[in-house]
Amino acid sequence: MQAISQRIYQAIEYFLAMHFPKRVTGIWRVIFRMPVLYYRFGFGWLMGGMVLLLTTTGRKSGKVRHTALGYGRDEKTGELVVSAGWGGKTDWFRNLQTDPHCVLHIGRRKFNALARVLPEDEAIAHMRAFLPKNPYAPRMWSHLIGEELGSDDESLRKVVRAFPSVGFKETSIT
């Protein structure tokens, strides 16, 4: 059942990426906020295998900020890994660069974590491991970057430079 829901999620992710706007406004804002609402209303367990809820502190406002992100797990280190869209200009990524302490909520589990930007070679290795799990990824990346990409090292290097990767290590349970 989880494999089916993961494939459905990947297909939806691919569809959204292929119709991705330059700015997230209007209906896109609602679509991207839906997973946050799932978590807020106690239904995060429906998405826990694919989407986590990241809580950061706003770098300018100091306010608590919530963002839902698709993630992967590094089997060797146990770190959770996500990629930042828009060339790393997303608010959650910039918030973590200011303060790497955050809270992650995955399914019914909530814990404190410390974020770090992955070095390029480590991020490429993670992307390579991710490819078999999401067959839509190269086409999605090609569309978002604007050039034809494959699964070779040079293509993955372009992806990692366009979408910086962040690793999260659990520090304590909240």
State the DSSP H helix or E strand holding residue 16, giving kind and residue range, or none if neither. helix 2-18
Q: Which amino acid is at 15?
A: F
Structural domain of residue 156, as residue ranges? 2-173
Structure token pair of residue 64: 């608590």
Q: What is the pTM of this model?
A: 0.81
Residue 88 has pLDDT above 90, yes or no: no
- Beta carbons within 10 angstroms of residue 174's beta carbon: 12
Q: Which amino acid is at 112?
A: N
**pLDDT grade for 138, boundaries at 50, 70 and 90:** confident
- Provide the CATH number for the domain around residue 134: 2.30.110.10
**pLDDT grade for 106, boundaries at 50, 70 and 90:** very high
Q: How many domains does the chain have?
A: 1
